[in-house]
Structure 1
């Protein structure tokens, strides 16, 4: 299967360079480049222009990465967003996660890491390098976390949380817990509702903060 990618970056040379690299990967193709979020949303008016993945720069004129990720989350949640940045900015990382990004990468990563990140993104739904993961785990995504109590959770939900903090897919978690993928999804959805969260990253942050997962 070939996955389509759109690159959103206001620096034309950088966008073209990334496109050239991605075109060298076996299972990925670049549909087009856009100079900012405003240009991207305009292109999305045509269904043929909607990709599987958006590689999204953060700092752009007219409509930046935060606004664009938020728009994609609301209007096209099926599109996987990988944020691109020139620095390991903790605030930017957390803000992009809150706005729906499923991954975060430095622009200066080696092509092999970019390829690995793209495969992990499409196969497991997210990709965060080690430096980003450690920052996410140390940060409280929602101030309301202080009022959340782990005793609201069943033992099976806690077990699921511990597996969710690994790189296992939901199917693989079901195998570890000796239950069906549908049951695993029910644990996930129950936790989303109880904890007021919307993403797997949010669940992991909650688990770490409450001592359910040790780094």
Structure 2
């Protein structure tokens, strides 16, 4: 039995090309193609729900961020794989916050896409190496136990909360009434304590453990 997929992308040529690529995969089939989030809502009403939604981020009417949030609230069992032309941290963090379990760039090789989809189904998530993969491998760990084992100060917890926002470090410093250098110290301290190397890693840890803005 093949895993069903819905593609949500306003560029129909890209969506159709993606559908044709997936048709060559052994364990997946495209159920339907939607132009935006509202179109997806209508399709879900009239059809059986897909296992996976391949979701473009930049779309008119209802974009990927809004669509992911709607899916998270209404159909949390659907696995969301975000598709983007950009590898920026902010888009990734926002999509994770809104329920995405995967993130892929649109220029990915077909073989990598198939591997990503298999990982999404088997492990429940898939993120590229630049997305702090070490953090995602521990998503199933017990949250309270993880927090209790690490000595994180109240100010570091406050910084973690803001790490999930769209603010840059300078803006976070202003919000926390301290200098950018102090923010860098919080960041570096958390990098060492949590064995992380990027803000994405901090944001995912914060979301996982209930520190979110």
TM (norm. structure 1) is 0.66
Question: How far does the alpha carbon of each residue in 1:23-62 deviate from its partner, in whole angstroms, 9 at most, with x for none?
Answer: 110000000100000100111113x331000000001010
Match of 2:3 in 1: 3
* Structure 1 residues 190 and 112: alpha-carbon distance in aligned structure 2, compared to 1, 3 A threshold: same
SS at match of 1:49: coil
Judged with a 3 Å threshold, the aligned counterparts in structure 2 of structure 1 residues 212 and 92 are, in CA distance, closer, same or farther, namely: closer
Q: Which residue of 1 aligns with 2:12?
A: 12
Contact 1:69 1:101 in 2 (8 A): yes
Give the alignment of 1:122-201 within 5 angstroms: 122-133=121-132, 165=135, 167=137, 187-188=142-143
Per-residue displacement from partner, 1:79-105 (whole Å, max 9, x unpaired)? 000000012122111111110000110
| Residue pair 2:132, 2:196 contacting (<8 A) in 1 also | no
Q: Partner of 1:22 in structure 2?
A: 22
Give 1:213's match in structure 2, choosing from 189, 195, 203.
195
Provide the residue aligned with 1:96 in structure 2. Answer: 95
TM-score by length of 2: 0.67
Q: Which has the higher contact order (CA 8 A, sep 6+)?
A: 2
What's the Cα RMSD here? 2.9
Shift, 1:167, TM fit:
3.7
Q: Where does residue 32 of structure 1 map in the other structure?
A: 32
Alignment: residue pair count = 161
Where structure 1 has 5 or more consecutive residues not aligned to the other structure, the ranges are 135-163, 171-183, 196-201, 203-207
Which range moves more in the overlay, 83-92 or 101-110? 83-92
